[in-house]
Amino acid sequence: MNNLSYLKNVVTLKLDENKCTGCGMCLEVCPHQVFKMNGRRAIIRNRDACMECGACRKNCPAEAIYVESGVGCAAAVINSLLGKNAAACCCGPQTNPEGKNSGVCC
């Protein structure tokens, strides 16, 4: 998963390194290894690998992470699995040949 990325430079992920306490929770919960430790603080290793699931933000005790969960490709995958027609996606819903929303992300 180290080479995983979505669209370049579109993710909403931000890390306030001054607030980071170095607990490492973001490293533990991130499914795509977006973060790494730099001494005693976390840094963003690969921003473009973020699928905006929000796990890092929800688990950061220092509130050092901001990400708009539900706007990226993770939302599209989850919504399509739930059978929803209008899946949120980083590049907008995709349509199949019949003109119906396929729920597939870029």
Shared domain for 40 and 17, answered yes or no, is: yes
Shared domain for 77 and 65, answered yes or no, is: no
Shared domain for 37 and 5, answered yes or no, is: yes
**More confidently predicted of 16 and 5:** 16
The answer to whether the beta carbons of residues 62 and 31 sit under 8 Å apart is: no
Shared domain for 37 and 56, answered yes or no, is: yes
For residue 95, list its beta bridge partners: 101
Shared domain for 58 and 74, answered yes or no, is: no
pLDDT, one tens digit per residue, over 31-87 is 999 999 999 999 999 998 998 889 999 999 999 999 987 655 666 666 677 777 544
- Total domains in the chain come to 2
Shared domain for 13 and 54, answered yes or no, is: yes
Q: Which domain holds residue 102?
A: 70-106
Shared domain for 77 and 55, answered yes or no, is: no
pLDDT, one tens digit per residue, over 19-31 is 999 999 999 999 9
According to the model, what pLDDT value does residue 21 have? 97
According to the model, what pLDDT value does residue 77 have? 66
Shared domain for 60 and 76, answered yes or no, is: no
The helix/strand/coil state of 58 is helix
Shared domain for 11 and 31, answered yes or no, is: yes
According to the model, what pLDDT value does residue 69 have? 73
Shared domain for 63 and 32, answered yes or no, is: yes
According to the model, what pLDDT value does residue 10 have? 82
Residue burial 47-57, b: 16+ Cβ < 10 Å; e: rest: bbbbbbbbbbb
Shared domain for 45 and 86, answered yes or no, is: no
